[in-house]
């Protein structure tokens, strides 16, 4: 990706940026529906960004605006430095919709040949890339097999091959592992990490939060059209006010002494689970334990799963 193809702000390059991006619809009954509400979002060059939210949160509408399929009501969005209304914003972008289908009589090779021609790829490059992407998605041995014989997961992987055929710098993926078996999911996960190594930017919609947690650099959580949280997976899953202390020789009743310094303390064998008013309070706890003859082995902030964070945030917005 050339530097002119990204947005430059405060020393950082952005592949995607939205400012107060808003989309309103009018329902069949004349009711005003606010699908996306003033979205401010920056996605950095070369990162895998997870875009999460419950059904109806506005995720698909957002992606369609970023692709220029749906025009925003107000606000702005840029992809690779170009306004999404500009056709140049789509020249170097790949897209995998949640659902796709291909003519059953065509082979994977034929499907990609057709779409490669439609995107204007030169013949030699097109042939070379077809072989490369089919190998990347694990379909190289199926390239001459008719699509009607493919499983749902194989069709999904063919769609992924199609999305990256022209070697785009930004790839939008909507539920890329939907309907794919565990082996296929591993293929997709490895492919996404491979694309990241190549410096590609990946914008990922997924309901499988365990996968998002494993592969995404940052995530944004959308609810009722509003971005309610954004940050790295580590930032969102780390509980800096909650600590787990592992220690030896903890004296009987030590939790009562510790509770004088913290909000709460629970003892389970050689483990103390603490809730603090401030992360700095952990130093006082460690000093106290050592003064009582305990040997502190580890002090770790408690981590929760991304799914726990997601449910907590959505319930908090209810």
Q: What is the CATH number of the domain that holds 246?
A: 3.30.70.980
Same domain, 299 and 221: no
Q: Tell me, what's the pLDDT at 1?
A: 42
Residues 191 and 286 in one domain: no
User: 202 φ, ψ to 5°?
Assistant: -120, 125
Q: Are residues 42 and 100 in the same domain?
A: yes
Question: What are the tens digits of pLDDT across the range 259-314?
Answer: 999 999 999 999 999 999 888 899 999 999 999 999 999 999 988 899 999 999 99
Considering the domain architecture, whether residues 179 and 294 belong to the same structural domain is answered as no
| Tokens 């794919």 belong to residue | 180
Please check whether residues 227 and 285 belong to one and the same domain: no
pLDDT recorded at residue 85: 93
Task: Assess whether 71 and 96 both reside in one domain.
Answer: yes
User: Of 236, 251, 266, at which residue does a domain stop?
Assistant: 236
H/E element, 55: none
- Please check whether residue 1 lies inside any domain of the structure: no
Do 192 and 72 belong to one domain? Answer: yes
Q: Which residues pair with residue 266 across a beta bridge?
A: 273
Cα–Cα distances (Å) from 251 to 30, 189, 256, 263, 289, in that order, read 69, 47, 11, 20, 9
Q: Within a domain: residue 311?
A: no
Give me Rg for the CA atoms of the chain. 24
Looking at the fold, whether 206 and 248 belong to one and the same domain comes out as no
Q: Counting beta carbons within 10 angstroms of the beta carbon of residue 314, is it exposed (0 to 12), middle (13 to 18) or buried (19 or more)?
A: middle
Does residue 249 form part of some domain?
yes
**Which residues form the domain of 117?**
14-236
**Per-residue model confidence (pLDDT) at position 27:** 81
Residue 3 lies in a domain: no
pLDDT band at 12 (very low <50, low <70, confident <90, very high): low
Q: Quick check: is 7 in a domain? A: no
Let me know whether 149 and 211 are in one domain.
yes
Predicted confidence (pLDDT) at residue 9 exceeds the cutoff of 70 = no
| Mean pLDDT computed over 13-21 | 93
Q: Do 182 and 85 fall within a single domain? A: yes
Residue 245 lies in a domain: yes
Residue 318 in any domain: the answer is no
Same domain, 124 and 32: yes
Say what the pTM is: 0.83
Asked if 265 and 232 sit in the same domain, the reply is no
Residue that terminates a domain, selected from 236, 262, 286: 236
Domain boundary among 219, 236, 253: 236
Q: Evaluate whether 192 touches 22 at the Cβ level (below 8 Å).
A: no
Would residue 30 count as lying in a domain? Answer: yes
Domain count, the chain: 2
Find the mean pLDDT for residues 81-102: 92
- The CATH number that applies at residue 212 is 3.40.50.300
- The rounded distance, in Å, linking the Cα atoms of 67 and 175 is 16
Q: Of 43-47, 217-221, 260-264, 277-281, which gets the smallest average pLDDT?
A: 277-281
């Amino acid at each position: 990706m050339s530097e002119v193809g990204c947005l430059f702000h405060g020393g950082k390059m952005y592949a995607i940026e939205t400012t107060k991006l808003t989309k309103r619809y009018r329902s069949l009954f004349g009711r005003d529906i606010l699908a996306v509400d003033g979205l401010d979002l920056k996605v950095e060059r070369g990162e895998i960004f997870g875009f999460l939210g419950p059904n109806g949160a506005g995720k698909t509408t957002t992606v369609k605006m970023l692709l220029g399929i749906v025009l925003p009501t107000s606000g702005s969005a840029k992809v690779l430095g170009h306004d999404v209304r500009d056709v140049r914003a789509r020249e170097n972008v790949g897209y995998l919709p949640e659902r796709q289908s291909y003519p059953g009589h065509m082979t994977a090779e034929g499907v990609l040949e057709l779409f490669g021609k439609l995107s204007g790829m030169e013949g030699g490059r097109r042939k070379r890339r077809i072989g490369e992407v089919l190998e990347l998605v694990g379909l190289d041995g199926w390239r001459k097999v008719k699509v009607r014989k493919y499983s749902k997961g194989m069709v999904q992987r063919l769609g992924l091959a199609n999305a990256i055929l022209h070697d785009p710098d930004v790839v939008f993926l909507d539920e890329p592992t939907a309907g794919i078996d565990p082996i296929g999911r591993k293929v997709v996960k490895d492919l996404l990490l491979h694309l990241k190594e190549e410096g590609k930017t990946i914008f990922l919609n997924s309901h499988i939060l365990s996968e998002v947690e494993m592969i995404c650099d940052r995530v944004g959580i959308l609810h009722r059209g509003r971005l309610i949280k954004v940050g790295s997976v580590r930032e969102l899953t780390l509980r800096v006010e909650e600590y787990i202390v592992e220690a030896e020789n903890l004296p009987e009743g030590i939790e009562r002494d510790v509770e004088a310094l913290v909000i709460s303390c629970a003892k389970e064998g050689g483990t103390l689970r603490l809730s603090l008013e401030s992360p700095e309070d952990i130093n006082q706890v460690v000093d106290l334990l050592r003064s009582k003859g305990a040997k502190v082995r580890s002090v770790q902030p408690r981590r929760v799963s991304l799914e726990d964070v997601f449910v907590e945030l959505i319930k908090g917005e209810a």
